[in-house]
Amino acid sequence: MSDSATKTLPASPAKSSSLKWWILLTVIVGTFLGRLDQTIVNLALPNIIGDFGISVSAAGWIATAYILANAVFVPIWGKLGDTIGRKKVYILGFSIFILGSVLAGLSWNLSSMIVFRVIQAIAGSADYPTAMAILAVTFPTEKERAQALGIWSSSFAAAAVFGPLMGGPLIDNFGWRSVFLINLPIGILGLVMAVKFIKESTSGQKNTSFDWWGAVTLGLALTSLVLVLDKGTDWGWLSLNAWLCYGVMAVFSYVFIRIEQTVAEPIVDLKFFKIGVFVNTLVNNFIIFMGMMGGLFLIPVFAQTYMGYDATQAGMLFIPMAAALMAAAPIGGILTGRVQPRYVIAASTFVAAIGIYMFSFLDAKSGAMDIILPLSIMAFGMGFGMAQRTNIIASVVDPHEIGIASSVLALARNIAGAFGIAFFATILTNVTNSNVLRFGQHSTLNAHDAASYQTFLGLIILKAQVDAYKVVFLIAAALLLVGAIAALWIKVKEERTDVEVFVE
């Protein structure tokens, strides 16, 4: 990089202001597409199972392979973005993602589908760390950055809602392959916008090597962790397969830490974890996403199983949630500089906890508003604190490590979500079984015919299952309450004022 090619932010205020928001819109398109793919594909699994003639458990690897590859490569892309340029990495990842989508839409059996989903996941994992780093350097002031990150974060919820709404009609009218092929026109639009609007940025530091050994050992440790979280409920948490995963995770985590302590340019700088604000914010994010994902994945199941809704109707319940999140997201930027971040994060987590708690009143006689209102309250709480959580991570690390710090945040959120789903699914199963035994022991059937006995048993199981959901939501709400209290220890002393390097 020559001196003549280096400059700071554009000089024209009007041009700079306009360009910033176009860049924000560009990364929103990319993030929306990546998250849309994660939600929309699940709807297509029944059709894929029928077309390929595979079992449900075998089809589960289509999702598992994606989750594994996505988690493993997030830190690698984050480091590469800081090293060779975030625009290059963003466009490369986006291009490969589009290619992987088309290939997945053309897959002919389970093996080819898994291979192409892995390609998609590897490429898709480039989005979060590079997009966050691009926004962090595009919006250098704390208030603008928080507002931009808040708006960007709302695209996650939008994708979660529009995935089911778009997926159903696409599958019904054009077949399951359309959920992959739809990524081509949207992806090309996002790619053109990225080439046109995003400015190249690097860390400004000369990097001489890449931490490949660190990447490999971290990848193996993460693969073992995510695999056992995804399959532990089926395998059994104390099964041989689970213990093998625990062992591999422990060994390679230890090796990874030793490598990162000695290598010149680590893929994850362990000094991050000496920054109290960074660690506390990371812990808060982990608690929030564990409680939220662990509790929320049960809502569509409850609506369809006990309230009689079909998949499309259950998906529509989430539309007000997306609206609440998008309405609340900019509030985080407005509050920046006026209220200390820890108070905003604590308040947002507390409001989200109230929303989750309200789900504990659900039963088979509940109506749509009994789901819509708690979802909206929870989303609003999450929304106005999301920007603050993300902004702190970008504010407390060195400028040249924004990308990798972003990837650590993304990794923590992904693992928290997987851990929450596994944790609460296990609780749901165990509490249901316990309730069946307890209710059976304390219930009496006066009739003795087979029909009455079947009805009696069905009511016990129904009561046991519904009450188990209540327990899960109460635990999730308690977890978020702990996160709200823990947020009070997040103390940001001052805004970072370092200037990033832009390259044309």
What is the per-residue pLDDT across 413-459, written as a single tens digit (0 to 9) for each? 778 877 887 788 888 888 888 877 776 666 666 666 666 656 666 66
pLDDT computed for residue 500 by the predictor: 42
Q: Among residues 146, 140, 151, 203, which one has the least CA distance to residue 404?
A: 203
Amino acid at position 25, single letter: L
Residues with Cβ within 8 Å of residue 431, at least 6 apart in sequence: 467, 468, 471, 472
The Cβ of residue 54 has, within 10 Å, a number of other Cβ atoms equal to: 18
Residues present in the chain in total:
504
Q: Which value, in Å, is the radius of gyration of the alpha carbons in the chain? A: 23
Measure the CA–CA gap between 349 and 333, rounded to whole angstroms: 16
pLDDT in 10s for each residue of the chain, 504 residues: 333 333 333 433 434 667 888 888 888 888 888 777 777 777 777 788 888 888 766 777 787 778 777 777 888 887 787 777 888 888 998 899 999 999 999 999 988 998 899 899 888 888 878 888 888 788 877 777 777 777 787 777 677 667 767 777 787 788 889 889 988 998 899 899 988 888 877 655 555 567 778 888 888 888 888 788 877 877 888 899 999 999 999 999 999 899 888 887 777 778 888 888 888 888 888 888 888 777 777 787 788 778 887 766 776 787 788 788 778 877 877 777 778 888 988 999 999 999 999 998 988 788 889 999 998 998 888 878 877 777 787 777 776 677 777 778 877 877 887 788 778 888 888 888 887 777 666 666 666 666 665 666 666 777 778 888 888 899 989 989 988 998 888 876 644 444 343 333
378 and 140 Cβ atoms separated by less than 8 Å: no
HEC sequence for 174-242: HCCCHHHHCHHHHHHHHHHHHHHHCCEEECCCCCCCCCHHHHHHHHHHHHHHHHHHHHHHHHCCCCHHH
CATH number assigned to the domain covering 3-210+265-503:
1.20.1250.20
Which residues, including other chains, have CB under 8 Å from residue 4's CB and lie 6 or more apart?
Answer: none
Strands 200-202 and 6-7: unpaired
Long-range CB pairs of 261-266 (<8 Å, 24+ gap) are 263/211, 263/213, 263/214, 264/208, 264/209, 265/207, 265/208, 265/209, 265/210, 265/211, 266/211, 266/214
Distance CA 172, CA 365 (A): 30
Task: For 216-271, write each residue's pLDDT tens digit.
Answer: 888 888 888 878 887 787 788 889 999 999 999 999 999 989 988 888 777 777 88
Q: What are phi and psi of 237, to 5 degrees?
A: -70, -15
How far the first Cα of the chain sits from its last, in Å, is 10
Scanning 307-401, the segments in alpha helix (DSSP H) are 311-316, 319-335, 341-358, 369-396
Contact residues for 290 (Cβ-Cβ < 8 A; gap 6+): 416, 417, 419, 420, 423, 479
Hey, is 461 helix, strand or coil? helix
Residue-by-residue DSSP string for 8-69: -S-S-HHHHHHHHHHHHHHHHHHHHHHHHHHHHHHHHHHHHHHHHT--HHHHHHHHHHHHHH
Q: Which residues pair with 503 in a beta bridge?
A: 6, 200
Kindly list the domain boundaries of the chain, sorted by start residue: 3-210+265-503, 211-264
7 sits in which H/E element = strand 6-7
β-sheet with 501-503: strand ranges across = 6-7, 501-503, 200-202
Neighbours of 265 (CB within 10 A): 15
Task: Give dist(CA 372, CA 379) in Å, integer.
Answer: 10
Mode of pairing for the β-strands spanning 200-202 and 501-503: antiparallel
Decide if 259 contacts 214 (C-beta within 8 A): yes
Q: 183 to each of 46, 164, 193, 215, 493, how far by Cα in Å?
A: 20, 15, 15, 29, 43
Residue 11: its pLDDT value, please? 39
> Looking at residue 391, what is its pLDDT?
76
Answer whether 141's CB lies under 8 Å from 9's CB.
no
Give one DSSP letter per residue of 289-331, joined into a string: HHHHHHHHTHHHHHHHHHS---HHHHHHTTHHHHHHHHHHHHH
Q: What tokens were used for 273? A: 């974890």
The one-letter code for the residue type at 157 is: A
3-class DSSP assignment, residue 362: coil
If DSSP codes are grouped into helix, strand and coil, which group holds residue 342? helix
**H/E element, 503:** strand 501-503
